[in-house]
Amino acid sequence: MSDKLYIYVLSDSIGETGEQVAKAAAAQFKDIDYRIKRFPYISEKEQILNIIQEAAGLNSIIVFTTVIEEIKETIIIECEKKDIEYVDIMSPLLGSFHNVLGNEPVHVPGTMRRLDERYFNRVAAIEFAVKYDDGKDSRGIKKADIVLIGVSRTSKTPLSMYLAHKNIKVANVPLVPEAPLPKELFDISPKRIMGLTANPIKLNEIRQERLKSLGLNNNASYANLDRILEELDYAEKIMKKLNCPVIDVSNKAVEESASIIMEIMRENDLI
Other CB atoms closer than 10 Å to residue 86's CB: what's the count? 19
- Tens-digit pLDDT profile for residues 197-254: 999 999 999 999 989 888 888 778 899 999 999 999 999 999 999 999 999 999 999 9
More confident residue, 111 or 11: 11
Q: Smallest Cα–Cα separation from 171: which of 133, 137, 223, 205?
A: 133
Point out the annotated binding site for ADP.
150-157
Dihedral pair phi/psi, residue 39, rounded to 5°:
-125, 95
How many other C-beta atoms can be found within 10 angstroms of the C-beta atom of residue 237?
Answer: 12
| Residues that constitute the known binding site | 150-157
pLDDT tens digits along 79-118: 999 999 999 998 998 889 889 998 887 666 666 666 667 7
Instruction: Enter the pTM of the model.
Output: 0.61
- The Cα–Cα gap between 6 and 152 comes to 64
Q: Are strands 246-248 and 193-197 parallel, antiparallel or unpaired?
A: parallel
Residues 46-57 have a mean pLDDT of 94
Q: What fold, for 118-267?
A: Rossmann fold (3.40.50)
Q: For the chain, how many helices (H) and strands (E)? A: 10, 8
The values of phi and psi at residue 85, to 5°, are -65, 135
Determine the pLDDT at residue 143: 96
Short-list 208, 230, 228, 231, CA closest to 218: 208
Report the distance separating Cα 11 and Cα 94, nearest Å.
15
Residues of the chain with CATH 3.40.50: 5-109, 118-267
Class of domain 5-109: alpha beta
